[in-house]
Amino acid sequence: MYNRSLQDPDAFWSEIASEFYWETRWPEENGKVHFENFDVRKGPVKVEWFKGGKTNICYNALDRHVHAGKGDQIAFYWEGNSPGLDASLTYNQLLQQVCQLANFLKDKGVKKGDAVAIYLPMLMELPIAMLACARIGAVHSVIFAGFSAESLAQRVLDCKPKVIITCNAVCRGPKIINLKDIVDEALSISLAHGVSVDSCLTYANEVAMSREKTAWQDGRDIWYQDVISDYATTCDIEWVDAEDPLFLLYTSGSTGKPKGVLHTTGGYMVYTATTFKYAFDYREGDIYWCTADCGWITGHSYVTYGPLLNCAKVVLFEGVPNYPDAGRCWEIVDKYHVSIFYTAPTAIRSLMRAGLEPVKRHSRKSLRVLGSVGEPINPSAWKWYYEVVGDKRCPISDTWWQTETGGFMITPLPGAWPLKPGSATYPFFGVQPALVDENGKEIEGVCNGYLCIKGSWPSTFRTLYGDHARYETTYFAPFKGYYFSGDGCHRDADGYYWLTGRVDDVINVSGHRIGTAEVESALVSHPQCAEAAVVAVDHEVTGQAIYAFVTLKLGVQYSEELRTGLKNAVRHEIGAFAQPAKIHWAPALPKTRSGKIMRRILRKIASKELENLGDISTLADPHVVQELIDLTDV
């Protein structure tokens, strides 16, 4: 299938696309279903798939299954922050609720092409809101409900929505977060910049906060539960062009200011559904759980669209993996008989830190396939995931992809080929990775290089919202003719791909170029190390030196002996040249709100440039930074 997808991408994808419902089929000229220009020298970068075809992703994710007689099947199992609080929706019920909200939006004047901002935690109303927008051709912009008023305001100013959908408050772990106050502040900031939002539809999440305690602005604010039930449970579909925009979403902000990525409808639909099906070996009857929040691309493609397009049963989780304790994930796996479980290395490392007992306490026998996304997974975390969580029974799909790519790019197909811990293995159908050198020349065989992609895939992002010039300069200008991912990568003798980290983070010690992933994995292989992040600092002799931040397993004390042990682990795994010059103890690492290590902040701490830490709007917990500064000389 892979060979065919490259030899004749148009026929390959057109066959798969035909399994979906199209109100009007795309026109085919000489069998061509896509157009692309990836080469800035040949004019503006442009990508189109199935253009001229008319469809609707909400119809394909819901109505299509209902018409096929599957309306009584579960779509969502919702598990609340506290154990014991749960709910579920069948495909029929989900469709009805989506229609009601879609009718509300229409009533408020939202039309095809208009933007709607969604600032909701992981309640069922979040995917409902996304689908309601898609149904009427509105463009959703989901903003992770952990962002500050300032970040929310920035994103509201960017897309100028008529309506914002939110809720009053949410419980996250032991904390209660008052979202409505944040929204109020964000909307007044936007107003001060000339953007006024007409309606603020607010879900009353009374588990977290009563209506009486919620700040209110009459005329603008509307309680969700007060109005929604008055709307009809059916709503006509707005058929949209395959190339009409579906959503706008910001990257995680690990390397700088977040970028507003725009995805369109047809190619995104076909690609997310297909990648979901193959990379998780999805089969009818599977219960699927992805721990990502819908505020990130993973929650768009692999909580909402990909699984629902396959008529899967999806677990939606409001809480966090270690609340009330480190066994929560496995408790949920047993409760719903989850067969496919998809999470991030950061969660795996933090659960690993808590030891075996919380895992072993639960059976996990329903698990069949495991997945990982977000960062390179250290081989020792991979082994723990495989051996302890999956009882050596479940293949791990380590999926490499990005907000920009919309769907999986390099990923195992479970069972199809042998896995290597820490490698994302091979490209998905239609994806042509290229490793290039600093001159933009493609290198073959075993090598290290800048990871680029040749040619488009159906869910290629079409632009950065309102800034096509930045789209071209960031992704297509560095290496002419290619999409540049920003990541470094190694290809081994078997053709397996190994992500080595961001190229901006590469460390050059005496002429050796060292990826962050390799050194971090060597540190994490030390039995007392829970997590590590390395950055470069200037060095008189070697040019740069490696500076490592290390988080220890729970209960382990700092000591000089342990410092030496950690350095030796790197010396042993990689070589003396990669040995960190300094080990900086880290009770925790600065991470984005999606759980990725922010090395750019660590670089500033390591080189003691504390005045300007850069854009920290996506930093999850700012206290971590001060803690690290305080530990500089410990």
> Does residue 258 bind ligand ATP (CB under 6 A)?
yes
Closest distance to ligand ATP from the beta carbon of 344 (Å) = 8
Q: Which does 258 bind (CB under 5 to 8 A by kind): ligand ATP, Mg ion, none?
A: ligand ATP
Q: Which does 596 bind (CB under 5 to 8 A by kind): Mg ion, ligand ATP, none?
A: ligand ATP
User: How many residues form the binding site for ligand ATP (CB under 6 A)?
Assistant: 28
| Contact with ligand ATP (CB under 6 A) among 79, 158, 238, 398 | 398
SS3 at position 435: strand
> Does residue 474 bind ligand ATP (CB under 6 A)?
no
Residue 251 or 579 having the CB closest to Mg ion? 251
What's the rounded Cα separation, in Å, for the pair 263 and 453? 18
Q: How many residues does the chain have?
A: 634
> Does residue 291 bind ligand ATP (CB under 6 A)?
no
| Contact with ligand ATP (CB under 6 A) among 71, 406, 414, 486 | 486
Closest distance to ligand ATP from the beta carbon of 501 (Å) = 7
Candidates 47, 13, 29; CA nearest to 453 is 47
Query: What DSSP element (H or E) covers 524?
Result: helix 516-524
334 is catalytic: no
What's the rounded Cα separation, in Å, for the pair 404 and 460? 7
> Does residue 371 bind ligand ATP (CB under 6 A)?
no
Candidates 534, 589, 500, 259; CA nearest to 402 is 259
C-alpha dihedral sign at 30, 33, 39, 40: positive
Mention every residue, 6+ apart, whose C-beta is less than 8 A from residue 19: none
> Does residue 424 bind ligand ATP (CB under 6 A)?
yes
Closest distance to ligand ATP from the beta carbon of 386 (Å) = 15
What's the rounded Cα separation, in Å, for the pair 135 and 132? 5
Which region, judged by CB under 6 A, interacts with ligand ATP, from 184-192, 233-241, 358-366, 397-405? Answer: 397-405
Query: What DSSP element (H or E) covers 328?
Result: helix 328-336
Q: DSSP for 201-253?
A: EEE--TTT--STTS---TTTEEEHHHHGGGS-S------EETTSEEEEEE---
User: How many residues form the binding site for Mg ion (CB under 5 A)?
Assistant: 1
> Does residue 402 bind ligand ATP (CB under 6 A)?
yes
CA distances from 381 to 62, 254, 396, 421, 438 (A): 37, 21, 12, 9, 31
429, 1 contact by CB (below 8 A): yes
Which region, judged by CB under 6 A, interacts with ligand ATP, from 5-13, 48-56, 249-257, 358-366? Answer: 249-257
Closest distance to ligand ATP from the beta carbon of 4 (Å) = 25
Provide the edge-to-edge strand list for the sheet that holds 483-491.
442-443, 432-436, 447-454, 483-491, 497-502
Q: Which does 376 bind (CB under 5 to 8 A by kind): Mg ion, ligand ATP, none?
A: ligand ATP
Which region, judged by CB under 6 A, interacts with ligand ATP, from 174-182, 256-264, 468-476, 552-560? Answer: 256-264
> Between residue 214 and residue 253, which ones bind Mg ion under the rule CB under 5 A?
251
> Does residue 255 bind ligand ATP (CB under 6 A)?
yes
Closest distance to ligand ATP from the beta carbon of 152 (Å) = 17
Contacts 24+ apart (CB under 8 A), 350-356: 350/321, 350/322, 350/326, 350/530, 350/531, 351/321, 351/322, 351/326, 352/381, 352/384, 352/530, 353/530, 353/531, 353/551, 353/553, 353/554, 354/322, 354/326, 354/554, 355/326, 355/554, 356/388
Beta strand segments in 540-612, E: 543-552, 582-585
What's the rounded Cα separation, in Å, for the pair 622 and 57? 38
Which region, judged by CB under 6 A, interacts with ligand ATP, from 12-20, 211-219, 368-376, 581-589? Answer: 368-376
Which region, judged by CB under 6 A, interacts with ligand ATP, from 38-46, 131-139, 373-381, 508-516? Answer: 373-381
Closest distance to Mg ion from the beta carbon of 486 (Å) = 5
Return left, alpha or beta for 311; rule: phi > 0 is left, psi -120 to 50 is alpha, else beta. left
Residue 251 or 459 having the CB closest to ligand ATP? 251
Choose the catalytic residue: 504, 505, 621, 630: 504
> Does residue 487 bind ligand ATP (CB under 6 A)?
yes
Residue 202 or 252 having the CB closest to ligand ATP? 252
Closest distance to Mg ion from the beta carbon of 142 (Å) = 17
407, 301 contact by CB (below 8 A): yes
Closest distance to ligand ATP from the beta carbon of 492 (Å) = 15
> Between residue 248 and residue 277, which ones bind Mg ion under the rule CB under 5 A?
251
> Does residue 304 bind ligand ATP (CB under 6 A)?
no
The interaxial angle of helices 9-17 and 266-279, nearest 10 deg, is 90
Closest distance to ligand ATP from the beta carbon of 411 (Å) = 8
| Residue 592 DSSP class | B
Residue 97 or 251 having the CB closest to Mg ion? 251
| Contact with ligand ATP (CB under 6 A) among 199, 251, 291, 425 | 251
Residue 45 or 61 having the CB closest to Mg ion? 45
Question: Which residues form the interface with Mg ion (CB under 5 A)?
Answer: 251
Question: Which residues form the interface with ligand ATP (CB under 6 A)?
Answer: 251-256, 258-259, 297, 372-376, 398-403, 424, 485-487, 499, 502, 594, 596
Active site amino acids: 504
